[in-house]
Structure 1
Amino acid sequence: MIGELTNQRIIVTGASNGLGFAMTKALLKQGATVALASRPGPKLSKAVQQLKEQGFDAVELGMDVRSEQSIEEAAAWVKREWGRIDVLVNNAGIGMKTVNPNFLTEPQPFFRVPPEGFRDLMDTNVTGYFLTSRAFAPLMVQQGKGKIINISMNYETMKRKGFVPYGPSRAATESLSFIMAEDLKEYGVTVNMLLPGGATVTGMIPDEVREQLQGKVTLLEPGVMAEPVVYLASEESNGITGERIVAVDFKKWLEERGN
């Protein structure tokens, strides 16, 4: 594993399970202090406790990415308790199963997606990234340094049949990321995107659907995100911004850069 993160203060949203938990553990293993930011509740508390019992410097940070008040309270906590933030990983999101539990085996056209389901997913996946970044970026600007890592998905997901509203939400996330990178360049703050490179074994794919896909689709383990997220959080990635990194192709990406 590349990257030394001792004394780094990092926030990972949607960290209580799936990709978020895998990335959190990878960052902790490299010496970082990581605040697991998710909606308050037993699930988050259990995840933090599990990591603490393993000797990691994990912190519980209850935060709902759809609530400006909740995010502002979390930002105030960071300023008060940490005094700085080195890295923000925007990962919190919900998937297609919230509007169609059988989205992989029985895709439904966009005109059958309920408006409330569309709004709820976009509020979480797009507005959530905006609100969270908006709250923590000023602290990074004040510091003159910082890194934001936005988690995304394959381009195929953005064009695939039956993938409204998840596909559009990730397309919007990427546009947001590119613009954020440009807006923050002059302040010494970087913004990059990281995506697995395929469907992953997470709660976004219901168990029954996962069983139907066995032997047909290769699902990636969440740990595929470990090495690239550590790299992006470390000093090794200083100065790199506006990049879109696919986890399964990370080593090739590094080689092409001459690393």
Structure 2
Amino acid sequence: MKALVTGGTNGLGLAMASALATAGATVALTGRSGEHANSVAGELPGAFGIELDVRDESSVTRAVDQAWSRLGGIDMLVNNAGIGMRTVNPRFMTHSQAFWEVPADGFRAVIETNLTGYFLVAREVAPRMLAAGGGRIVNISVSESTMQRAGFVPYGPSRAGSESLSRIMAADLRDTGVTVNLLLPGGPTVTGMLPPGTVSEGRRFLESAVMGPPIVWLASDDAAGVHDERIVAVEFERWLRDRNGRR
């Protein structure tokens, strides 16, 4: 398995890149700093880093070209790169900010990264997968409550948009050999998106490693043909048992 993981230098992206690499996949992970991406990738078996700004079309083209060439193709794209509420409200966990208080440039930055970025990378990868005869796209999402939570503009709308995008991508790619699925943690997760000190305040958070088992399974032969599913990581084992029971 040859995988491209965007936003793979920390948080959920790093957890998934690590799980895939440990399971034997060859992984290209991206970050806005190519030097940092290479440094992080150097800690994983058989992985390498690539500079990528998912908001920039030329950067996306260069990065996908590089990943495709070095990997010898891309079997799996994990669309994960994103920014969170801290960019518009550093205290978002304790001090809610109404949507009309959000600066327009902050709104645009989150939408361009979390929604447009998913579109640009998938738009570049999907035709290559189609020409190669198949592939797997996994778009990382969040719980529906996050999409509707007070004070969560623009992060909530950006993730709701990326989920709709994923469903339409799946519809467009049905019966082509290229699959599209959604994967989300299933609760607040320890990542760099949280304000400093949040984890120490007694709240319960998931560890990023919760994403490991489902992403490795989605890369496996058992997941061949699995399409247009919304998989919640904390419920993955039960979901898989139920799925196997229906077969």
Contact 1:105 1:209 (8 Å CA) reproduced:
no
**In structure 2, C-alpha distance between the alignment counterparts of 1:247 and 1:80, rounded to whole Å:** 31
**Which residue of structure 2 lines up, in the alignment, with residue 60 of structure 1?**
49
Residue segments in structure 2 that go unaligned for 5+ positions in a row: none
* 1:59 Cα offset (Å): 1.2
Q: 1:16: which partner in 2? A: 9
* Mapped partners of 2:90, 2:209: distance in 1: 24
| Unmatched tracts of structure 1, length 5 or more | 1-7
* Secondary structure in 2 matching 1:88: strand
Q: For the residues of structure 1 that align with 2:40 and 2:16, how far apart are their CA atoms?
A: 13
- Cross-structure match for 1:242: 228
Kept in 1, the 8 Å contact 2:79–2:140? The answer is yes
Structure 2 equivalent of residue 3 of structure 1: none
5 Å-filtered alignment, 1:87-236, equals 87-211=76-200, 214-215=201-202, 217-236=203-222
Q: Secondary structure in 1 aligned to 2:182?
A: strand
Hey, what does 1:252 align to over in structure 2? 238
Contact preservation (8 Å) 1:16, 1:43: yes
Mapped to 2, the partners of 1:32 and 1:23 lie a distance apart of: 11
Kindly tell me the number of residue pairs found equivalent between the two proteins. Answer: 245
CA distance in 1, matches of 2:7, 2:68: 20
Q: What CA deviation, in whole Å up to 9, does each residue of 1:143-164 have, x standing for no partner?
A: 1110000000000001111000
Please state whether the residue corresponding to 2:130 is helix, strand or coil.
helix
Deviations, residues 155-200 of structure 1 (Å, cap 9, x unaligned): 0001111000000011001100000011111321000000001111
The letter of the residue matching 1:22 is A
Match of 1:186, SS state, is coil
| Alignment-derived partner of residue 77 in structure 1 | 66
Counterparts of 1:229 and 1:128 in 2: how far apart (Å)? Answer: 20
Secondary structure, in 3 states, of the residue corresponding to 2:175? Answer: helix
Identical aligned residues as a percent: 52
- 1:26-45 superposed matches below 5 A: 26-45=19-38
- Quote the RMSD (CA, aligned, Å): 1.2
Normalised to the residue count of structure 1, the TM-score between the two structures is 0.92
Point out 4+ residue stretches in structure 1 off by more than 6 angstroms.
Answer: none
Question: How much has 1:41 moved relative to structure 2?
Answer: 4.2
1:234 shift after superposition = 1.4
Inter-partner Cα distance in structure 2 for 1:32 and 1:15: 14
Answer yes or no: is the 8 Å Cα contact 2:7–2:29 preserved in 1: yes
SS at match of 1:34: strand
Partner of 1:5: none
- Residues 149, 156 of structure 2: 8 Å contact kept: yes
In structure 2, give the amino acid aligned to 1:253: W
Distance 1:60 1:240 in 2: 28
